[in-house]
Each structure stands twice: as structure tokens, then as C-alpha cells.
Amino acid sequence: MTQYAKVIGTGGYLPEEIRTNEHISEKVDTSDTWIFERTGIKSRRIAAKHETTSSMAEVAARQAIEMAGIAADDIDLIIVATGTPENVYPGTGCVLQHRLGIKKGVAFDIQAACSGSIFGLDIANNYIKSGAAKTVLVVGTEINSRITDWTDRGTCILFGDGAGAVLLQASDEQGILSTHIHSDGQYEDLLNCPNPQAMGDADGVGYISMKGNEVFKVAVNTLGRIVDETLAANNMQKSDIDWLVPHQANIRIIAATAKKLKMSMDHVVVTVEEQGNTSSASVLLAFNEAVRDGRIQRGQTVLLEAFGAGFTWGSALIRY
Ligand code: COA
């Protein structure tokens, strides 16, 4: 019998500090009106000094474990997606495994920028379908505020910190219906964050650098294509999708994907206004929010999608 990767738990964590557009306008030449009109963002969360990508991941993971009603030890694969790991090594996945008190199985990190959570779902799905893993934790966790140049108004208005988690388990009942991931490395100069120390510049600091309007155009076109690919692979119509849970980069990119699906914004989960772009955490944070507030119901069909540096992009179609 087909084994599906069924969602058995979700979790999320947002740091306490709220940084509003007004706060940013005090430091760089911008305004709340400009930021909100161009991006849909009003505020974002900022991690406290003592917080790390793994400490935030732990809170989100524990919530998912509690919702699922399993023991942490039941997890046999941990996948952490992050572009802001606290160490070059050990991986944040291993640090998280230890924090959760898990001594068996395997944990590793993936780096796919803002598409990280979708890449994580793809790997989890394939491990479960092949029988290589039974219970898989996927976490996206980011402290973008520490790789943001707070004097660059083109990027500092966009990003935020947070962690999202989802637990998947092998089941006869439907779960992930399909995943689709892609990358194209030719766009490095449009969106990147260097690692100066690894490049031999011991005193350097690496910040996010982006050609925003060019990224915007590629993102809209690419996400339109991933919608078509996902529907075709499942022999579905646009009207078969109950919820769109998009990566939260910009409300105008989200609205363009919703329009492509002929979907009213009432069926799109939007968190960008109060969270900004939390990279690999954003899709799982949004999914967690809509599951916990009861918008997403068991049996419904949910399309998750993301686009990020690399470029990377992808989707996961889930029967919740
Ligand atoms: N406040 C005020 N003005 C700003 C500004 C800010 N924060 N940032 C840029 N501007 C100015 C520019 O200097 C430019 O001025 P000019 O016309 O005098 O040269 C003007 O606004 C238009 O700049 P542009 O970059 O074309 O704006 P935009 O409409 O594309 O909006 C982004 C900028 C960054 C909001 C938008 O491009 C975006 O969201 N891109 C996608 C980013 C993204 O999703 N990245 C992550 C992918 S995972």
C-alpha cells in the first residue's frame, strides 16, 4: 500500500521584539507608507541576543511534537533548513537533535535560502515514500536580522526572524501528494549573502545583497510556472486547491500567484504584514498559523510554494 507523508504536527516561534516600519524610517530614508505599499510589510520580529537558530528551532519543534502526541525519540530524521546557521559546523540539525534529547536516527541541514522548507518537505516525502524514514521533522529557522545591512533601505525593510516546524509520519492516509523543486545557479548576482571568512577575509562581514526589482520579476514568473507544474502532476484544476500557503516575501508576489490560481485572497495565508520575509521559516510559520487557528481543516488540499536565492524554487501539494 502507498505510504504517504502525513502531517501530524506543526509549530512556530517568533521572537518577542517587534521592529516596525517607523523604527526603520528613523535610521534610513524610507517611510511606513512606501514599505507597506511596495511590500505589504508593517513590522517584523527580531531575535534577542541570547537566541540562536537552534534555540528558536527547538521551540517550534517541541510545539509540533506536542501537537502530534509523539515522543521526541520517535523521530528518525531531522531536516533543518537555514541560511543563518549558528555554526559552520556542527549543523543546526545536529544541535537541534541534541536539544530535543534524541540519540538515534539522523539529522542534517539544507541550504536552499527561502525555498528551504519546500526542499525539506521534498526530502522528507522521498524518505518516507521509500521507507527509509518513518517520522520526519522539518524545520525552517532563520535569524535574518544578523545578516541584514540596516543601512541598506533596499533590503533592511524586508526581512525578519522566526522558526517554523512540521512533523510528518508514514501513513496509509493521504498526506503530501507531490513535491516539485528546482534550482538555477545563474542568478547569484541578483540575490546573495557572502561568507567573507570562508573567502579569506577574516575581518569581513557578510550582508544580504539584492537587485530587488529583477528578483521580483523572476519570482512572479517562476511561481506561476510551479503552480502549473503542480496542478498538471496531480491532474487537478485550480479550483481543487483549498488553500495557498506561499513564501512571504512581498504581498504583490503573493497576490500574483493567487491571481494565477484564480483564488480569492481569503484562501491565501498571509503573514508578511507582521513577520516580513523569514526565509526558510516563512512557509512553515504560515502553515502552522492557519492549522492552529482552524482555517486549514483535515481533508483539505493545500499548496505550499517558495522562491529564493540560488535561484531555488518549489512547491508541495498536501492533503491535510
Ligand atoms: N524606501 C523608499 N524608497 C526606496 C526604498 C525604500 N525602502 N527602496 C528602494 N527605494 C527607491 C529606489 O531607490 C528607487 O528610486 P529611484 O526610482 O529614484 O531610483 C525606487 O524606490 C524604486 O526602486 P525599485 O527597486 O524599482 O522598487 P520596487 O518597486 O521593485 O520595490 C522591493 C523594491 C525590494 C520592495 C521589491 O523589488 C521586492 O520586493 N522585490 C522582491 C524581493 C524579494 O522577494 N526578495 C526575496 C526573494 S526570496
- Inter-residue contact 318 to 258 (CB < 8 Å): no
Nearest CA to 124 among 106, 141, 142? 106
Phi, psi of 104 (to 5 degrees): -125, 180
1 has a pLDDT exceeding 90: no
For the chain, give the mean pLDDT.
97
CA separation for the pair 284, 306 (Å, rounded): 11
CA separation for the pair 93, 106 (Å, rounded): 9
Pairing, β 191-192 against β 176-183:
unpaired
Q: Which atom of ligand 1 is nearest to the CA of 307?
A: 48
Q: Does residue 295's CB lie within 6 angstroms of at least one atom of ligand 1?
A: no
C-alpha pair distances (Å), 58 with each of 51, 138, 182, 282: 11, 11, 28, 16
Q: Read off the pLDDT of residues 66-102 as tens digits, 9 standing for 90 and up.
A: 999 999 999 999 999 999 999 999 999 999 999 999 9
Q: What is the pLDDT of residue 2?
A: 72
Q: Read off the pLDDT of residues 165-215 as tens digits, 9 standing for 90 and up.
A: 999 999 999 999 999 999 999 999 999 999 999 999 999 999 999 999 999
Atom 26 of ligand 1: nearest residue by CA position: 213
Residue 301 is inside which H or E element, if any?
Answer: strand 301-308
Mean pLDDT along residues 21-35: 98
Q: Does residue 34's CB lie within 6 angstroms of at least one atom of ligand 1?
A: yes
User: Percentage of residues in the chain with pLDDT exceeding 70?
Assistant: 100
Give strand pairing partners of 80. Answer: 109, 139
CA separation for the pair 112, 122 (Å, rounded): 12
121 has a pLDDT exceeding 90: yes
Q: Which of 21, 125, 144, 277 is catalytic?
A: 277
User: Percentage of residues in the chain with pLDDT exceeding 90?
Assistant: 99
Domains, the chain, in order of start with CATH, read 4-173 (3.40.47.10), 177-319 (3.40.47.10)
Q: Read off the pLDDT of residues 204-246 as tens digits, 9 standing for 90 and up.
A: 999 999 999 999 999 999 999 999 999 999 999 999 999 999 9
User: Which of the listed residues 183, 216, 222 should we mutate to test ligand 1's pocket, taking the one with most ligand atoms within 8 A of CB?
Assistant: 216
Residue 312: HSE in the Cβ half-sphere, 13 Å Cα cutoff: 22
Nearest CA to 170 among 212, 217, 131, 120? 131
76 CA distance to ligand 1 middle (Å): 43
Q: CB atoms < 10 A from the CB of 59, how many?
A: 18
Q: Does residue 112's CB lie within 6 angstroms of at least one atom of ligand 1?
A: no
Is residue 247 flagged as an active site residue?
A: yes
C-alpha pair distances (Å), 52 with each of 47, 120, 136: 8, 20, 22
Q: Does residue 215's CB lie within 6 angstroms of at least one atom of ligand 1?
A: yes
CA separation for the pair 177, 104 (Å, rounded): 28
Give strand pairing partners of 183. Answer: 312
Is residue 114 flagged as an active site residue?
A: yes
Mean pLDDT along residues 91-117: 98
Task: List all residues 6 or more positions away from 23 whose beta carbon is below 8 Å from its beta carbon.
Answer: none
Q: Read off the pLDDT of residues 266-318 as tens digits, 9 standing for 90 and up.
A: 999 999 999 999 999 999 999 999 999 999 999 999 999 999 999 999 999 99
276 CA distance to ligand 1 middle (Å): 15
104 CA distance to ligand 1 middle (Å): 46
Read off the DSSP letter of residue 268. Answer: B
- Inter-residue contact 73 to 174 (CB < 8 Å): no
Please enumerate, as own/partner, the contacts of 250-254 that have beta carbons within 8 Å and a separation of 24 or more.
250/38, 250/39, 250/40, 250/41, 250/158, 250/216, 250/277, 251/39, 251/40, 251/41, 252/38, 252/39, 252/40, 252/216, 253/216, 253/219, 253/220, 253/223, 253/307, 254/40
Q: How far apart are the first and last CA of the chain?
A: 19
Q: Which of 21, 156, 247, 288 is catalytic?
A: 247
Q: Does residue 307's CB lie within 6 angstroms of at least one atom of ligand 1?
A: yes
C-alpha pair distances (Å), 39 with each of 183, 254, 262: 24, 10, 21
Q: Does residue 213's CB lie within 6 angstroms of at least one atom of ligand 1?
A: yes
Phi, psi of 155 (to 5 degrees): -120, -30
Tell the residue number behind the cell numbers 498571509, with chain if given. 270
